[in-house]
Amino acid sequence: MLNFCVRSETVEEYLRAILYLRSKHGLARASELAKYLGISKAGVSESLRSLCSAGLARQEKYGPISLTTKGERLASKMTFKHRVIELFLAKTLRLSKSKVHAEASRIEHSVSDETVRRLYFFLGKPRRDPHGSPIVR
């Protein structure tokens, strides 16, 4: 695992955020990542270094952040988990749409792949999360 003191939750959160920013703006930059996560630029730089050392991401100096194959795979998995959980919370539990993002962001790190896969089938293999973003398995 990681040699640095970055929790796996943080890693997962960063990877999902990088994928999200890329889908929205075409690329992910450290400054946008800091804004999106509500973290200082210094904090983001430090965590990014750990992601790079762990072979999950790459970043040229002042350039956009790119993901390695391994990072890409983990980021896609986390995005899938996040969106399935959001839909479950909104559709099945009828939690308000404004609350599902924060709630899913907490749950997604502790739930197993199998449970999310089963949730996905339970929900009838949905194509969109409550915010309209695609659910890609």
Q: How far is the CB of 65 from Zn ion (least distance, A)?
A: 20
Q: Which stretch binds Zn ion (CB under 5 A): 42-50, 66-74, 100-108, 109-117?
A: 100-108
How big is the site for Zn ion, counted in residues (CB under 5 A)?
1
Residue 11's Cβ-count burial label (10 Å; 0-12, 13-18, 19+) is buried
Which of 58, 77, 101, 109 forms a contact with Zn ion (CB under 5 A)? 101
* Per-residue binder mask for Zn ion (CB under 5 A), 116-135, x = binder: --------------------
Q: Of 8-16, 21-29, 70-78, 101-109, which part binds Zn ion (CB under 5 A)?
A: 101-109
109 contributes a contact to Zn ion by CB under 5 A: no
* Token output for 41: 């630029």
Taking the least distance from each CB to Zn ion, the nearer of 39 and 90 is 90
Bin 63: left if φ > 0, else alpha if -120 < ψ < 50, else beta: beta
What b/e sequence results for 96-111 when a residue is b if at least 16 CB atoms lie within 10 Å of its CB, and e otherwise? Answer: eeeebbebbbebbbee
Least separation in angstroms between CB 119 and Zn ion: 15
The answer to whether residues 100 and 89 touch, using CB atoms and an 8 Å cutoff, is: yes
CB 85, CB 116: distance < 8 Å: yes
Task: Give contact residues for Zn ion (rule: CB under 5 A).
Answer: 101
